[in-house]
């Protein structure tokens, strides 16, 4: 079965209403080109480093402008719309980095809260503590979208292969990594991580990314990609600014790849043995 998919690359600002209109314009473009599944990046609704300013405009699901706009767009355009994520105010006063999938009738298929928090200290003084603002999720999701089964993840999740393996074992044919990768980590790791997740699971992978210099001063890597189960890059965006990637994917390529290299079936349980080391001179420790 062949379907047309799209990855929408954005450079989101600090105003959710403006970002909702921005998203709508690009999603309409993708739909006009025949895409039946469209994915937007992580933090589609707002990239804002000022925590106080961000909290002032946060809303719950029912009132969030990205959620309401995406639901309306999906129904109007008759597409499956995957909002890579947006910041959502939870009922307990915490914040979720939450993804949404809407069906062509506008109904909400499912949500996914980012599991792994980006708490890192990089070179040149770049440091991030996502856990200081967001509450991590604890549930992986595989959604049956009619045309195929889609595994959900967000950005930093890509560094945890066990998440993607569990989704593939559960039948995911398409893996997703909407992201706002930093330029520093993107240049070093983005492509190799995406291709590895596709190859090791014999699945398509769609990764819509944020790209360029944002209003809050951060810079993201872009390079949104659509990758096939053999690791071939079918479509790739540049490293700055908006772009709409389109690719036709044949889901029959998934079982074909898994027959050629059946590592999902060949995986075995094992015991890890911690072998004592040696002291200098060859004497056992």
Q: What residues act catalytically? A: 42, 114, 155
Instruction: Quote the CA–CA distance of 95 and 45 in Å, as a whole number.
Output: 14
Extract the tokens encoding 197.
């997740």
Tell me the CB-side half-sphere exposure of residue 134, using CA atoms within 13 A: 23
Instruction: Quote the CA–CA distance of 26 and 44 in Å, as a whole number.
Output: 12
The end-to-end CA distance of the chain, in Å, is 59
Instruction: Quote the CA–CA distance of 244 and 10 in Å, as a whole number.
Output: 9
Extract the tokens encoding 104.
């062509």
Instruction: List beta partners, residue 219.
Output: 213
Query: Any idea what DSSP says for residue 91?
Result: T
Tell me the CB-side half-sphere exposure of residue 139, using CA atoms within 13 A: 10
Instruction: Quote the CA–CA distance of 159 and 153 in Å, as a whole number.
Output: 10
Extract the tokens encoding 191.
């492509």
Instruction: Quote the CA–CA distance of 35 and 70 in Å, as a whole number.
Output: 15
Instruction: List beta partners, residue 99.
Output: 112
Instruction: Quote the CA–CA distance of 41 and 224 in Å, as a whole number.
Output: 9
């Amino acid at each position: 079965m062949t379907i047309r998919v799209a990855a929408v690359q954005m450079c989101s600002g600090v105003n959710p209403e403006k970002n909702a209109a921005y998203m709508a314009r690009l999603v309409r473009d993708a739909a006009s080109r025949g895409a039946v599944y469209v994915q937007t990046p992580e933090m589609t609704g707002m990239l804002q480093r000022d925590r106080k300013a961000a909290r002032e405009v946060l809303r719950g699901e029912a009132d969030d402008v990205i959620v309401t706009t995406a639901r309306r767009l999906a129904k109007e355009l008759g597409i499956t719309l995957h909002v890579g994520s947006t910041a959502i105010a939870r009922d307990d006063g915490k914040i979720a980095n939450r993804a949404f999938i809407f069906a062509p009738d506008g109904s909400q298929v499912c949500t996914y809260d980012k599991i792994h928090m980006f708490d890192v200290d990089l070179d040149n003084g770049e440091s991030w503590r996502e856990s200081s603002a967001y509450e991590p999720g604890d549930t992986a999701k595989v959604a049956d979208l009619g045309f195929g089964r889609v595994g959900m993840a967000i950005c930093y999740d890509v560094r945890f292969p066990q998440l993607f393996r569990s989704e593939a074992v559960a039948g995911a044919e398409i893996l997703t990594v909407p992201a706002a990768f930093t330029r520093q980590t993107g240049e070093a790791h983005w492509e190799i991580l995406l291709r590895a997740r596709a190859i090791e699971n014999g699945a398509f992978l769609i990764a819509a990314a944020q790209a360029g210099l944002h209003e809050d001063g951060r810079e993201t890597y872009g390079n949104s990609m659509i990758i096939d189960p053999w690791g071939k890059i079918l479509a790739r965006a540049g490293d700055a600014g908006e772009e709409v990637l389109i690719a036709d994917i044949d889901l029959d390529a998934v079982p074909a790849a898994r027959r050629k290299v059946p590592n999902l079936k060949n995986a075995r349980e094992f015991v890890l043995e911690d072998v004592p080391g040696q002291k200098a001179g060859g004497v056992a420790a």
